[in-house]
A and B are shown apart, each in its own frame.
Chain A
Amino acid sequence: MSARGNILGKLRDSLAGTTPRPDEFDEQLVTRPWRYAPGDRLARLRSLMEAVHTEVHQCRSDNWPELVAELLNKRNLANLLFAPAKEHGRALQAYFEATEQNVELLAYDQPVEAWKEELFWNVEASLTGTLGGIAATGTVVLWPDRYEPRLMSLVPPVHIALLKASEIHDNLYDMMVAQDWAAGLPTNVLLVSGPSKTADIEQVLAYGAHGPRELIVLVLEDA
């Protein structure tokens, strides 16, 4: 008999004569305490994210690339990983070229194996879009894809995420239902609620454990 057969067999024997418990999920419990007036969602997200050292900026769809340049220059960063095929990538590239920025723009356009060393040691910052935000927990949601792969938001020490204000949901349950996640998830979904951190030594909080040391969220108020 296989391990699978033995395990399932033992479990079925133990359940013989019993009926499964009914599904008693109560969505009120995970939504009612976490509802906000539309005007309060951003403030809630912002205060929670800032409480865990996220830098949040409110800007508009026509001026955010300028802010990105400013943030990179302030930190003296030499390069930025971005997605030239995406709409926000094109906007960023157009601005950086028009204003002759000193920052080198890098694209994640080959399998990770081809440039792992460079990605791990030389890329200083990255910029990705988000699928939306969650006010209840101060979270941005990422669905990595071909153009913004999984490691893009993890390996570079600084991660800049673009969030449209209109895509901030009250809570995770609402977002999941509104977008029908259960119908099909991509390879990887990430809820990100701040820069990487640890409190493993004496419970002292230190940022920049293994992921980005800094998370910067740019909220596009008009989008």
Chain B
Amino acid sequence: MSQRIPVTELTPDFRGRAEEALADGQLRNNFRVAMDSLMTKRANAFPDADEREGLRELGNRIKAGALSRLPDLLEQLEQKLTENGVKVHWAETVEEANNLVHGIIEARKGSQVVKGKSMVSEEMEMNDYLAERGIECLESDMGEYIVQLDNEKPSHIIMPAIHKNARQVSKLFHDKLGEPETEDVNQLIRIGRRTLRRKFMEADVGVSGVNFAVAETGTLLLVENEGNGRMSTTAPPVHIAVTGIEKVVPNLRDVVPLVSLLTRSALGQPITTYVNLISGPRKPDELDGPEEVHLVLLDNGRTGAFADAQMRQTLNCIRCGACMNHCPVYTRVGGHTYGEVYPGPIGKIITPHMAGLDKVPDHPSASSLCGACGDVCPVKIPIPELLQRLRQENVKDPEQPQQVKGGGAKYSRTERWIWRGWQMLNTRPALYRSFLWAATRFRALAPKKAGPWTENHSAPVPARRSLHDLAARHLDQNGGRSS
């Protein structure tokens, strides 16, 4: 694997990257087209609003119910999986998780890993960790394969290569694989199929994520369209699944509404081509399937979010991507602008628990609070409300204990004093009146520069007469009557 050059670190801050993205017509067009199409597909997949709302409510209840007894469910899941022959591992940090994965691979003397799509493995930056230790970790989802080949990161959690068009993929395959250039998508997919098929066959270990883990039966459920998930979890002799601790649901029947919500919200499909339920390694009389199955349960800040009853709702997320598809900000700036594993509205509310709010202080305010994300969320996470909460956490006094990791990064003493002054002014009538008198009389002295506001607007100038003044004069002229 060539050295990774993360695109996300080219410009260090969100604002800078957003400006670059906004100036990139190709990128904006790629996203606009894709998001419009995904929104239409979702709308068509839910033709009956009552059915949709009933199902969203149920999805919310299942996830909230699962979280309300999460530790018990995790223990039940562990017990059932262990009975089924699956080895369960726990990791508090991504380092621990990587270490566990590496240990499993080393024990098998493995050198080639093939990976189905897994956002948790992106959190872990597993590919880099393993590459540094001489293990090739190849992405096998077509989109993930494309971004990995170009040393990039996914720009969308469901459609990782959505920022690229066929011409760009063709050039990439030509440059990196020596394939003849073609903009025929079928041809490009055939190239990917051929290249990866050998890898599936040769891989020592397959890595996957998990969409839902069922405590009742000890089952790992994965949805996908390509078959790479099935390949990664079936062909190699070892399967390692990595997932966040929030993915567990109590009963098998719970996956019926959740899978329906997931595939319809994500892609507008009634169901994905494959729904793969794995409940154990190969049995003695079976002829294929992995000899070992491992599950790594990762915390990485999730217990922090869990500790706050309001922020806990972020753990309802089933990673469908509908919030980003419907976000006017995401559509314009694209996934890489966020600079983190999870972009878009959901990224804004889960990243602070993983990386710390101080690492992404601009994210909560990069929203018009239009509410589309909350309206489409299949498990009814109140994303706009959580964004407002994070805005508050952002400006809390850093000297005080923080409720959200890295809170208080945007605290400004000046801003705090300005608001205090504003409050005093507006709650003391005498002071307010004299301010009004002064502001209107000395309006010519109003500052010409008012921070970022005057970068794009003319400076506000107080009126010659205040509204109070005008109203009082009007009443005088009409003998106390308003008209």
Q: Point out residues on A near B: beta carbons under 8 Å.
A: 2-4, 6-8, 10-15, 18-27, 29-30, 33, 48, 52, 108-113, 116-117, 120, 136-139, 145-146, 149-151, 154-155, 171-173, 176-177, 181-182, 184-204, 206, 208-212
Contact = CB atoms under 8 A, between A and B. Distances in A.
Interface in B138-187: 140-143, 146, 159-162, 164-166, 169, 185-186
A119 to B, nearest CB: 9
A191 B279 contact: no
A14 B303 contact: yes
A182 B216 contact: yes
A189 to B, nearest CB: 4
Given A112-B288, A187-B281, A201-B164, 16 more contacts: A11-B245, A20-B65, A21-B69, A29-B54, A29-B58, A33-B51, A120-B201, A137-B271, A176-B256, A185-B252, A193-B270, A197-B226, A200-B146, A201-B169, A201-B185, A209-B228
A187 B166 contact: no
Give the 6 A-B CB pairs with smallest separation, nearest first: A211-B227, A200-B143, A209-B226, A210-B227, A191-B275, A112-B288
Q: Most chain-B CB neighbours within 10 Å: which of A15, A116, A208?
A: A15
B270 A211 contact: no
B388 interface: no
Contacts of A4: 90
Q: Most chain-A CB neighbours within 10 Å: which of B165, B234, B299?
A: B234
Contacts of A185: 217, 219, 252, 277, 279
Q: Most chain-A CB neighbours within 10 Å: which of B161, B185, B250?
A: B185
A25 B251 contact: yes
A33 B65 CA distance: 24
Contacts of B265: none
Contacts of B288: 111-112, 149-151
A146 B140 CA distance: 27
A215 to B, nearest CB: 9
Interface in B200-240: 200-201, 216-217, 219, 225-228, 230-231, 234-235, 237
Contacts of B383: none
A137 B142 CA distance: 24
Contacts of A2: 90
A221 to B, nearest CB: 24
A186 B54 CA distance: 32
Given A201-B146, A210-B227, A173 B286 contact: no
26 contacts: A2-B90, A12-B71, A15-B69, A20-B65, A24-B58, A25-B58, A25-B62, A30-B55, A111-B288, A116-B235, A149-B286, A149-B289, A172-B256, A182-B251, A184-B217, A186-B279, A187-B286, A189-B276, A190-B277, A193-B274, A199-B267, A204-B166, A209-B189, A209-B226, A210-B226, A210-B230
A145 B286 contact: yes
Nearest to A206: B189
Contacts of A12: 71
B interface majority secondary structure: helix
Contacts of A210: 140, 193, 196-197, 200, 226-228, 230-231
Nearest to B30: A202
Given A120-B201, A200-B159, A7 B48 contact: no
B385 interface: no
Contact of B279 (A21, A33, A188, A200): A188
A10 B226 contact: no
Contact of B273 (A108, A145, A194): A194
A151 B185 contact: no
A199 B92 CA distance: 35
Contacts of B425: none
A192 B273 contact: yes
B378 to A, nearest CB: 13
B193 A209 contact: yes
Given A14-B307, A111-B288, A190-B274, A202 B166 contact: yes
Contact of B287 (A110, A195, A201): A110
B441 interface: no
B165 to A, nearest CB: 5
Nearest to B187: A206
B227 A187 contact: no
Given A23-B65, A112-B288, A203-B37, A154 B227 contact: yes
A54 B141 CA distance: 22
Interface in B87-117: 90-92, 96
A177 B252 CA distance: 10
Contacts of B193: 208-210
A27 B188 CA distance: 43
Nearest to B142: A200
A52 B268 CA distance: 13
Contact of B254 (A25, A136, A154): A25
Contacts of B16: none
